[in-house]
Chain A
Amino acid sequence: MDSQKSLCIILLVLSTIAILACLVINLEAWIVYDVAIFCIPLWVLSLGLLTMAKPAPEDEEERVKEPFTGY
């Protein structure tokens, strides 16, 4: 498992736990705001990084050389 995938799983689990904790426990408003501001985008991003398709190994070099770059 590569490091990006491991990091995404850890961040997804942590953000899920933080959001669920705020749903279950009545914490102070500023804590809930902080959790919402950082963990909602983090949850969406880490989930997306796990669900996205990756290019086949033989195509990877071609994909990272995008047509718009390198000018």
Chain B
Amino acid sequence: MNLMANILINVIIAFLAGSLLLGLHRKIMARVQKRPGPPIVQNLIHSLKFFFKETAIPKTVSKVFYIGITFILALIWVVGVIAGPVAKDSLLILFGVYAVYKIVEHNSGSSSGSPYGKLSCVRAVLSAATELPLFAAIVFVYLITGTMNIGEIIAYQSAHGPLIFTIPLAAVMFFMLIITKSPYSPFAITKDKALISGFETEHFGLLRGFMHFSEAIAWYVMLWVFLTIFFGPLNAVGYLIGMIAITFITAFINATTPIFSPNHSVMTQITIGAICFFGTIVMIFTGVVA
């Protein structure tokens, strides 16, 4: 298949599947809380609807920065689609994508001129604590498989079995990242409702729709990477079941957990990360990991 056609198809699938999964996430959260909740397609409809809504640029923003940051958000997740589902390239590129995502959260808040956005921008720095467990998880994947290349990690798992059984605590660390980035997460200190919509507060209308587009792709890519590096070679049905299962689990956790205060959020993430990190090292040295 033509490379550009392959990229376009994967970006469209990521957007549609990501939007529907986020809609499902919202629906499950509502049902757990005994509310009817919106239809599953609502998230997708919202994203498209915002493109036709009235949009004005607030006086206090830095215009180029304010629009440019939404462009960078979309750009990095298109890179995520290319490095992941399309090229199955290095995990380090995806780690870089996630690191830039943090910078986008930070700068989106600071470009807005809103005090809520700025407070969220400060919290984005704190929430970078999730990058440490993510980096540790990637290091363990490298130590076991001897490669950072996603295609080679898939090949390793087809020969030796899924990594979830070899380094389960590394998978827990990665899963914590997914919980952190899921909507209404207990670790979502940048979008705490005390901050209205956090770093997105002043991005409304078209720009909010554009951010929804990127976040739907982000959700799809993160789930795809988790399933690929810990559950081995999967077919389309395997990915579908896996993504729905993870969405269900994160929705259940988020529906039953309040948002932590920033210091509790960071300490909880670092504590879970440290336990999983040292646990995996113990497993390696005691020979539990082959």
Interface residues of chain A, those whose CB is within 8 Å of chain B, are 19, 22-23, 26, 29, 32-33, 35-38, 40-42, 44-45, 47-49, 51-55, 60, 63-66, 68-71
Contact = CB atoms under 8 A, between A and B. Distances in A.
B82 interface: yes
Interface string B178-209: 00000000000000000010000110011001
B78 to A, nearest CB: 5
A68 B205 contact: no
Given A53-B54, A69-B113, A71-B115, A48 B78 contact: no
Contact of A37 (B54, B60, B78): B78
Interface of B: 2-5, 7-8, 11, 51-60, 67, 70-71, 74-75, 78-79, 82, 112-117, 196, 201-202, 205-206, 209-210, 213
B11 A40 contact: yes
- Nearest first, the 10 A-B pairs at minimum CB distance are A41-B74, A22-B4, A63-B56, A52-B206, A69-B60, A53-B54, A48-B206, A52-B55, A36-B7, A66-B58
Contacts, number: 103
Nearest to B52: A51
A60 B117 CA distance: 22
A25 B116 CA distance: 47
Nearest to A40: B78
A31 to B, nearest CB: 10
Contacts of B7: 32-33, 36, 40
Nearest to B63: A4
B79 A65 contact: no
A22 B4 CA distance: 6
Contacts of A54: 54-56
A52 B209 CA distance: 10
Contacts of A55: 54, 56
Given A45-B71, A63-B56, A68 B116 contact: yes
A54 to B, nearest CB: 7
A35 B54 contact: no
Contact of A68 (B2, B55, B78, B201): B201
Contacts of B58: 64-66, 69
